Structure 1
Amino acid sequence: MKKIKQTLYSILFLKCPRCHEGPFLEANPYHISKMNKVKSHCPNCNLKYSIEPSFYTGAMYVSYAVGVAVAVAAYVLLLIFGIDFGPTGIFLTIIGALLILMPYIGAVSKAIWAHIFLK
């Protein structure tokens, strides 16, 4: 159970897949000039974050799944709170949530991808 908590913590807070302490990204995901740039190595345990060129291209598939999860969560929250904007309003709310969370979704997708392949 502790391993699952550590992994979930390091994915959500963008930490190293091995030591769960070192930063995974060069800057905050919302820092536009360095948006979702992954560090080359962990400063804490020296884990190399990329095992081959274009390693994080596969994170696009994870990003799609995370985006769908965010869209479903936004819709469910609208249902739970009883907010009825009609179909167009619901669609625009989901699009807004996805646009606001886009940098974080990309960063979390890269972190999930790294946690799958790097140990």
Structure 2
Amino acid sequence: MSERSKVQAVLQGRCPQCREGKLFKHGAYNLAKFTKINQECTSCGVKFEREPRFFDGAMYISYALSVGLFLVSAFIIYMFFHPVSENVYMLAIISEVILLYPIMFRTSRIIYLYAFGGLKFGGNKK
């Protein structure tokens, strides 16, 4: 049985059921393959994609995470660097999108699977 907490499992991209198996096959910054998710858990064998196009709903979580990140960035720029031109805000947002896209993509899928995947933690059942 895993010693990981739910928060640790989410942050590490682990299976919601056993908290051991990895959800993604490759590293986040392997740009050719960062979207490849395992079909099933390598530890307990549970199927991750609950139905065809299951992870389409993760785009709403990705949107919410992105808006939150942009608001925090704009607040920090405003509080510590004000007054600056609008170009600074645009440069910050565009840089964040480019640098953090793989992380946001994965995080939104992980959160969506934990929230709507119907999988409950039950330890390693294999």
Q: CA deviation at 1:77?
A: 2.9
Q: Which residue of 2 aligns with 1:45?
A: 44
Q: Is the 8 A contact 1:70 1:98 kept in 2?
A: no
Q: Tell me which amino acid in the other structure corresponds to 2:81.
A: I
Match of 2:113, as an amino acid?
A
Matches within 5 A, 1:107-118: 107-118=106-117
1:64 aligns with 2:34: no
Segments of structure 1 that go 5 or more residues without pairing to the other structure are none
State the TM-score, normalizing by the size of structure 1.
0.84
* Separation (CA, whole Å) in 1 of partners of 2:77 and 2:5: 31
Tell me the equivalent position of 1:83: 81
CA–CA distance in 2 between the matches of 1:33 and 1:101?
15
**Deviant stretches of 4+, over 6 Å:** none
* CA–CA separation in structure 2 for the residues paired with 1:6 and 1:76: 31
1:20 matched to 2:16? The reply is no
Query: How many matched pairs?
Result: 114
Separation in 2, partners of 1:41, 1:32: 22
Q: SS state of the match for residue 93, structure 2?
A: helix
Report the identity percentage: 27
Unmatched runs of 5 consecutive residues or more in structure 2: 120-126
After superposition, the CA RMSD in angstroms is 1.7
Normalised TM-score (structure 2) = 0.80
CA distance in 2, matches of 1:91, 1:53: 36
